[in-house]
Amino acid sequence: MKNKGNKFYIRHSKKEDLKILDFIQLKNLKINNLPTASNEFLMTDSIVLVVSKRWSKAQYDQGSRKLLNISYDKSQEERSFIIKKIISLKDIFIRLKPPEDYILGFITLRKIFNEYHVMTIVVRKEQRGKGIGELLIIGAFDEAKYNNIDSITLEVPEKNSTAINLYKKYGFMKKGLRKNYYDGENALILTTPGIKSYSYSKSLFMNAIYYVRDGANNFSKKRSNFKRKSIFFDKN
């Protein structure tokens, strides 16, 4: 999917996103022991953030069914003629609500005492390498600072050097090891130092500033939409 000139942004998840989020997790994260986004969304101590893109006018003009097919990676061309006709008739009688936007990835955070635990972070495979995972991490820190949370902890596959390097950039340090955590693969337990400290907060703000500056061709600070004022994106 190509939306030329259409930058991605970060926002809070909504109830209407949940089926799509669960689909993204199932297809793009081959780990069976993680809670689904829809389960986390319903928990009072959990937060779900998504990174999305607006639909292009050409896509939107094709109707709700087309937008749903894109969201769920379904190819209309692969369906039989009869199935296509049945779907067309259904759409005449049932008004489909189109997805708000095209979700590229998401992160789920669960509050445990005075800490956020990253339950899941996943990006569509074809969207990786564009800074979406980093934006989700910045969003997690935004939530933590706003809600006066002092640290963030997560697990990462021991052999996932790309993710580990990203987390190190944001000050995560090794706290322990969970053996056979990811379907037989060991996981590192990483945690941050005190987020409230002056030196760490300054480092976070600088990383956010660099992200906005260096990712300006792909990321829209203007369209990013939190349910409250953003700690990072409203200040730089």
pLDDT in tens, 56-115: 999 988 888 889 889 988 765 555 444 444 445 444 445 568 899 999 999 999 999 999
Instruction: Give per-residue pLDDT as tens, 177-230.
Output: 999 888 788 999 999 999 999 999 999 999 999 999 998 899 999 999 988 889
User: Does residue 2 have a pLDDT over 90?
Assistant: no
Query: In Å, how far are 12, 42, 48, 50, 102 from 18, measured between CA atoms?
Result: 12, 10, 10, 11, 13
Average pLDDT over residues 33-44: 92
Question: What angle in degrees, to the nearest 10, is found between the helix axes of 198-214 and 132-146?
Answer: 140
Instruction: Give per-residue pLDDT as tens, 16-38.
Output: 999 999 999 999 987 777 899 99
Confidence label for 1 from pLDDT (cuts 50, 70 and 90)? very low
What the block records as the tokens of 79 is 């369906």
pLDDT at 65: 82
| This prediction's pTM | 0.89
Q: Tell me how far apart the alpha carbons of residues 80 and 86 are, in angstroms, rounded to a whole number.
A: 10
User: Does residue 4 have a pLDDT over 80?
Assistant: no
Domains of the chain: residue spans and CATH: 9-54+101-214 (3.40.630.30)
Residues 6+ away with beta carbon under 8 Å from 2: none
Q: Of the candidates 80, 72, 11, 17, which has an alpha carbon nearest to the alpha carbon of residue 225?
A: 11
Largest CA distance in the chain: 64
